[in-house]
Structure 1
Amino acid sequence: MSRALTDLPFARRLTPFDGELESDQEYDNAHVADQQLEEPDCRGSRFIESALTELTVLRGSLRFTRFADVWMRGVRLVGTNLGQSDWQDAELVDSAWSGVEIVSAGLRRIRFEGCKFESVNFRNSNLREVEFVDCVLRDVDFAEAALRQITFPGSTLMRIALDRARLQDVDLRGARSIDIASGLDALRGATINYGQLMDLAPAFAQAAGIIVRED
């Protein structure tokens, strides 16, 4: 179950921030709330023990940004560049990412809960100890990414790309549905249940060049 803002160990130290986010700055114990940012340039900044709530970011760049011990709720990212960003010990709740580029990023000990991902590019990123809980992932690209100790309880995966991805200890058994658009061979290193195996059987057959016909 997701935490509330008041449950955070650093909640009492949070200070409201309503200025403009800038590049190469450190935001420590900042609470950024109820803002719509259009094309912000926040490259190379650091958010430490901070909270972002009811925030919309349209396009802009957060490349090389670091998020450590950060809590986000109701954060909407549209066309935002998060390339080579670094995430550690963060929790994102009821948030939505659309057309986001998060290429060559690092994510460790991250929990996404009730989030929606539409056309998000995780290509060549490194994800470790990441939970996608009750999330929807549609047209998400994990090509050439490294996924280790990843779970998807209650999540729906639609048209996922896994081309040349490297999976280790990835548990898909809790997912509501799994639809792999490409890179089926990358599923070695993943665990699925028998029902999911049956659902994926047509895609496995097609990838293996097997023609299945009724008598």
Structure 2
Amino acid sequence: MTNRRTAPPTRSPRLSPVRLEGLTAGDALDIESGAHLDGFELDALTLDSIELASANLSECRLASITAIDVDLAGARISDSVIERWNVPVLAARRSTWRDVEVRDSRIGSAEFYGSEVRSVLFENCKLGFVNLRGATFTDIRFVDCTIDELDLGQATVSRLAFERTSVDQIELAGATLEHTDLRGARLAVVNGVDRLRGTIVTPEQLSLLAPLIAANLGIDVDD
């Protein structure tokens, strides 16, 4: 009798809604590198640049932010909501994100490389180039988003899911994927198909990926 090895079921991202109460209204004067903001609400700010490198933001709501660039390099953001951002450049390299919701935002270039991003919801966002090289990306859900390019090269990914989200290009070279559900993603270009182990796809997606997988394995397909 043949023993068939079945793959373990894909685990969904573990996310809890962020609930914020009793926030203190802040303004542009509260924004500075290394700031410690706990329970603040920053709303309707238009600035050339926002400098929050190495800041610590906990239980904050940052809404209706318009800036040419936002610097969150090395920052720690937890239990917070980011919504209605219009930011061409988000520099968040080597930052830490835990229990964060990012909603209704337009972000051109998002630099998350080397970061730890855990329990984050992206909903109704338009994202350009999202750089997660070398990042740890755990319990993440993209809902109703459009992404031009998602770079997961060398990243460690676990419990990632997409719903009604289009991804023009995804880079997987050197990535380690676990419990990654691609079924809700409309994928155009996939680089690094040899790293797809640990993902789940639809039959339609598999038919689109088949030529890339065959080429990667050195298989010639001919009638």
> TM-score scaled by structure 1?
0.89
CA distance in 2, matches of 1:138, 1:41: 26
CA distance in 2, matches of 1:8, 1:40: 24
Count of residue correspondences: 206
Aligned to 1:208: 217
Name the SS of the counterpart of 1:64 in structure 2.
Answer: coil
28, 43, 48: which is aligned to 1:19? 28
Alpha-carbon RMSD: 1.8
2:74 maps to amino acid = F
CA distance in 1, matches of 2:67, 2:214: 42
Pairing 1:144–2:131 present: no
CA contact (8 A) 1:179 1:200 kept: no
Deviations 1:189-213 (A, max 9, x none): 1011111101212322333344545
Q: Report the alpha carbon displacement of residue 111 of structure 1 after superposing the two structures with TM.
A: 0.7
- Which residues of structure 1 form unaligned runs of 5+? 1-6
More strand by share: 2
Larger RCO, structures 1/2 (Cα 8 Å, 6+ apart): 2
Aligned to 1:4: none
What are the residue-to-residue correspondences of 1:177-188 with 2, within 5 Å?
A: 177-188=186-197
Name the SS of the counterpart of 2:212 in structure 1.
Answer: helix
Aligned to 1:45: 55
Aligned to 2:131: 121
Aligned to 1:3: none
Q: Report the alpha carbon displacement of residue 8 of structure 1 after superposing the two structures with TM.
A: 5.9
Name the SS of the counterpart of 2:28 in structure 1.
Answer: coil
Name the SS of the counterpart of 1:198 in structure 2.
Answer: helix
CA distance in 1, matches of 2:167, 2:210: 16
Aligned to 2:11: none
Name whichever of 81-90 and 193-202 sits farther off. Answer: 193-202
Percent identity between matched residues is 29
> TM-score scaled by structure 2?
0.86
Aligned to 2:8: none
**Closer, same or farther: CA 126–210 of 1 in aligned 2, 3 Å:** same
Q: Report the alpha carbon displacement of residue 16 of structure 1 after superposing the two structures with TM.
A: 1.8
CA contact (8 A) 2:37 2:56 kept: yes
Aligned to 2:84: 74
Aligned to 1:32: 42
Deviations 1:71-126 (A, max 9, x none): 12111232221001111111111112212211111111111111122112111111
Aligned to 2:176: 166
CA contact (8 A) 2:177 2:197 kept: yes
